[in-house]
Amino acid sequence: MMRELKTFLAVVRYGTFASAGSHIGLTQSAVSAQIQRLEEDLGYPLFDRTGRSATLNAAGKHTVDVAEELLSVYARLADRGGAAEQSGLLRVGSIASAQASFLVSAIQRFRQDAPGWRIRVIPGVSLNLLAQVDSGETDMAVIIKPPFALPAELKWRTLMSEPFVLLVRRELAERPWRSLLKSEPFIRYDRNSFGGRLVDRFLRRIRVTVHDVVELDELQGIVGLVAQGVGVAIVPQAAGLFMPKTVAALSLGEPDFVREVGLVERNSRNQQTAAADFAECIDAVTNARR
């Protein structure tokens, strides 16, 4: 709630959600989401909303004084000299494939240098994780690069590029990949995910109609279905993905058909040192694996 209270006081100080967001490094929608969460937690509205405008109401005016007092007390509790820099909680969002691979090494590396810090890994799909970073619910997230421009308040760093391949049962590996796509049942990488959208775009571009039988987001689950003979699938060669001996990965001959995995963070000068250090640990681990 402290984060939401700080955002609330920023709105009071700067007059509008948009102005508050520009000063504290949040989008207007993220500010609105935090204020809504605060109102839900408190059980009453803080603003009278008319169209696009929001005016502080009587309950909101009373809350200002209480919020300032709470944040003042919290600041005193947190002010423990150097110890305040040496402990805390980092909230890191991550897609499943990253959790099973390089994120493990990054956490181990960070813990060696900052043993007082706890890390909470928050699972999810890229779109939801991106929204959580934008709203301030997480400090950073490892996601697939979105097919649209990020808000100015967020920054992106590419960690790795993973080529897409066609997964088939090994006994089918001698057949041309295009023929297999046309004739075999197709296990589709969920189109609600950024990676699944890339697959859908690829199929449209090469003008191949597939026969969908299953659609899911979990890459290891897709591998398992191919191994069981349910169908063929186009997936990225993701870090940490286990390939049984019964499954073959066929090149699609498309060097630019890749899934770009990276780290999205808040573009803020006030980013805590620990978050920046953990981001560097992730960067170092993925660089070593390239």
Q: Which residues contact 65 (CB under 8 A, 6 or more apart)?
A: none
Q: Quote the pLDDT of residue 26.
A: 75
DSSP code for 193: S
Which of 168, 278, 290 minimizes the C-alpha distance to 239? 290
In whole angstroms, give the CA distance from residue 227 to residue 167: 9
Q: Quote the pLDDT of residue 82.
A: 46
User: Which domains are seen in the chain, by residue range?
Assistant: 2-78 (1.10.10.10), 83-160+260-289 (3.40.190.10), 162-259 (3.40.190.10)
Q: Quote the pLDDT of residue 178.
A: 96
**144 three-state secondary structure:** strand
Give 67: exposed, middle or buried? Use CB within 10 Å, 0-12, 13-18, 19+: buried
Helix locations, the chain, DSSP H: 2-14, 17-24, 28-42, 58-78, 83-86, 96-99, 102-113, 126-135, 177-183, 194-206, 219-227, 273-289
Which of 216, 215, 212, 258 minimizes the C-alpha distance to 238? 258
What global pTM score does this model have?
Answer: 0.69
Q: Quote the pLDDT of residue 81.
A: 47
Q: Quote the pLDDT of residue 264.
A: 95
How far is the CA of 160 from the CAs of 83, 98, 107, in angstroms?
35, 11, 18
Using H for helix, E for strand and C for coil, what is the string for 33-93?
A: HHHHHHHHHHCCCCEEEECCEEEECHHHHHHHHHHHHHHHHHHHHHCCCCHHHHCEEEEEE
Q: Quote the pLDDT of residue 64.
A: 86
Q: Please give the structure tokens belonging to residue 94.
A: 């991550």
Q: Quote the pLDDT of residue 93.
A: 95
Strand partners, 216: 189
> Within the chain, which residues score under 50 in pLDDT?
81-84
Q: Quote the pLDDT of residue 119.
A: 93
Q: Quote the pLDDT of residue 257.
A: 95
Distance of CA 154 to the CA centre of its chain: 12
